[in-house]
């Protein structure tokens, strides 16, 4: 009889501590999920993650390859929308001649076409 009581006590103790552990671990599991929205912060992305405007033109993939090595599309976004191909040519050639952008004259022309049709006056 005495023995039975003891073992019942022990069982109860075991059950309680198991329950406590389960409760604790579920708190640990749930806590980060619950607290996430509380700690989530909003921020403006730095300008240098601006993507090039997608296009079918060859100049688009060239811009991705040749221009993004130094900077994102944010410089293109800040140019006047009235800019014609002469303006874009001057910019691209400046990138090539001054900053040594690794681009052939032919590729430069493709980029100029892409820029004026997607950022400049030739935009549809």
**Exposure letters 55-88 (e unless 16+ CB within 10 A, then b):** eebebbebbeebbeeeebbebbeeeeeebebebb
Task: State the Cα–Cα distance between residues 108 and 116, nearest whole angstrom.
Answer: 12
Q: Which is nearer to ligand HEC, 16 or 62 (CB)?
A: 62
Does 55 bind ligand HEC (CB under 6 A)? Our answer is: no
Determine which residue in the list 50, 61, 64, 75 makes contact with ligand HEC, applying CB under 6 A. 75
**Nearer to ligand HEC among residue 3 and residue 102 (C-beta):** 102
CB of 59 to ligand HEC, least distance (A): 9
Q: Which of 62, 55, 71 is nearest to 106 (CA)?
A: 62
**Longest CA span, the chain:** 102
When asked if residue 83 is in the footprint of ligand HEC (CB under 6 A), the reply is: no
3-state secondary structure at position 112: helix
**101 near ligand HEC, judged by CB under 6 A:** yes
Nearer to ligand HEC, 25 or 104 (CB): 104
By CB under 6 A, name the binding residues for ligand HEC.
63, 66-67, 69-71, 75-76, 79, 91-92, 95, 99-101, 103, 111, 115
């Amino acid at each position: 009889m005495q023995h039975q009581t003891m073992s019942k006590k022990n069982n109860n103790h075991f059950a309680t501590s198991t329950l406590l552990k389960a409760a604790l671990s579920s708190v640990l599991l749930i806590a980060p999920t619950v607290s996430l929205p509380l700690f989530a912060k909003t921020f403006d992305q730095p300008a240098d993650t601006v993507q090039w405007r997608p296009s079918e033109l060859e100049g688009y993939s060239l811009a991705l390859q040749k221009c993004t090595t130094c900077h994102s599309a944010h410089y293109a976004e800040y140019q006047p929308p009235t800019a014609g191909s002469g303006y874009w040519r001057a910019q691209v050639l400046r990138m090539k001649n001054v900053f040594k952008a690794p681009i052939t004259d032919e590729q430069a022309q493709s980029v100029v076409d892409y820029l004026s049709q997607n950022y400049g006056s030739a935009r549809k």
